[in-house]
Amino acid sequence: MKPLYSLTILVFGLASAAALAQGSRPVVTQDANPVAAGFAPERTGNYSAGMRALSVVDDRSDRALEGLIWYPASASEPTSPDFRSEVWVGAEVAREAAAANGSFPLVVLSHGMFGNSRNQAWFAASMARRGYVVAAIDHPGTSTWARDPDQRRALWERSHDITRLIDFALSPEGLPVQVDPDRVFMAGHSLGGFTALTLAGARFDAARLERFCGAHVGEMVCGIFDDWDIAETPEDRKRMGADLSDGRIRGFAVFDLGGTQSFSEESLGRVHRPMIVFGAPIMNSGLTLDIESRALVEALPSGSFRYVEPATLTHFDFFNLCTPGGYDLLAREEPGDEIICEHGGAHRAAMHEMILDEVTAFFAESLH
């Protein structure tokens, strides 16, 4: 089974950037106006997007957490692309800029399988321009550059990573910007969406997953979890099935998650915190929408979520924009992987604007 996205794709052209440290259910179909291919959408807010490297400082010496933060900075700060790549379009940021005055809501961001803190840089920078602080870390074991099998097997640690990140962000000396502890949100893509569900209160159910995989031989998530030895021992089952929720998170944005069938239906029925769930009906990633995002919102309590399923959304539209030559370059260098940049210009930019508008409106509503 080929990985969902290869190491080459995720790090191609990013070496210089890495030195700095992707009942009823309402269906929303939104056809946004296209913008020029190859350029990041720039819906100007009141701020520039400041950006700095992030290192979580706490008492865990066995699992270092590194990443990036984006935050509101003065609109007059000079900006430049946050990275340069032959495949990906960077977001405009003000590196090391002073933070704007005020206390801002925090969004913690969890990347997908073998991704990294830059995968949703477009989202983070745009949210910063809209007045949010966004903090993203590379999850050890399941990130682009850290794939240790033991850390990968300990999948519960992803949830702990986010709790540690929030602890650090809310500490007096944590971030170079003031964060409002009563306005903490989370967004996660793919495996990051799975992580978000655990922090919302969903509980891993090894027995349910085994029954499901026995009846759905060849399902992608089953193969991944089996390959990673998830919940193979009694001790690991206990840790995976524990309550990993974090009550400080006020609302969640779940971007085309995988792993829905590993959660107990009972626990999903008790997730009452506000959640906006995006499902991608163009199923080009190996995920099956009927057993993932659609199944999730069927199991969530009525009235606790908003479900968004635009007709042309793909799993890879949650990645950064692709350059005009990115598709052809990948087709030459990694045949088959060019699918990640299919319609990665104007169409993806329109999807980004829709996602940003939906998420910011939902987060604002969840505070009332």
Question: Could you tell me the pLDDT band of residue 367, with boundaries at 50, 70 and 90?
Answer: confident
CATH number at residue 351: 3.40.50.1820
Q: Which of 12-16, 105-109, 121-125, 146-150 has the lowest mean pLDDT?
A: 12-16
Displacement of CA 28 from its chain's centroid (Å): 20
Per-residue burial over 23-40, b = 16 or more CB atoms within 10 Å of its CB, e = otherwise: eebeeeebebeebebbeb
Q: Which helix (H) or strand (E) holds 122?
A: helix 121-129
Model pLDDT for residues 127-163, shown as the tens digit of each residue: 999 999 999 999 999 999 999 999 999 999 999 999 9
> Over the chain, what is the mean pLDDT?
89
Q: What is the pLDDT of residues 90-116, one digit of tens each?
A: 999 999 999 999 999 999 999 999 999
CB 94 within 8 A of CB 129: no
- Which amino acid, one-letter code, is at 322? C
Q: What percent of the chain has a predicted confidence (pLDDT) above 90? A: 85
Residue 65 lies in a domain: yes
Closest to 203 in 3D by CA, of 252, 241, 237, 233: 241
pLDDT band at 120 (very low <50, low <70, confident <90, very high): very high
Within a domain: 326: yes
CB-CB contact of 327 with 338 (8 Å): yes
Query: pLDDT tens for residues 56-87?
Result: 999 999 999 999 999 999 999 999 999 989 99
Domain contains 1: no
Residue 2 lies in a domain: no
* 0.85 surpassed by pTM: yes
CA distances from 109 to 133, 196, 237 (A): 11, 9, 25
CB atoms within 10 A of CB 366: 17
Q: What percent of the chain is predicted at pLDDT more than 70?
A: 88
On whether residue 60 sits in a domain, the answer given is yes
Please give the structure tokens belonging to residue 314. Answer: 């793909």
Beta-carbon contacts of residue 290 (< 8 Å; ≥ 6 apart): none
Q: In whole angstroms, what is the distance from residue 102 CA to residue 100 CA? A: 6
Nearest to residue 185, comparing CAs of 132, 126, 259? 132
* C-alpha neighbours within 13 Å on the C-beta side of residue 240: 24
pLDDT in tens, 269-302: 999 999 999 999 999 999 999 999 999 999 999 9
* Structural contact between residues 167 and 225, judged by C-beta atoms closer than 8 angstroms: no
Asked if residue 301 is part of any domain, the answer here is: yes
Predicted pLDDT at 38: 33
**Domain of 187, in residue numbers:** 7-366
Mean pLDDT of 159-181: 97
The number of folded domains in the chain is 1
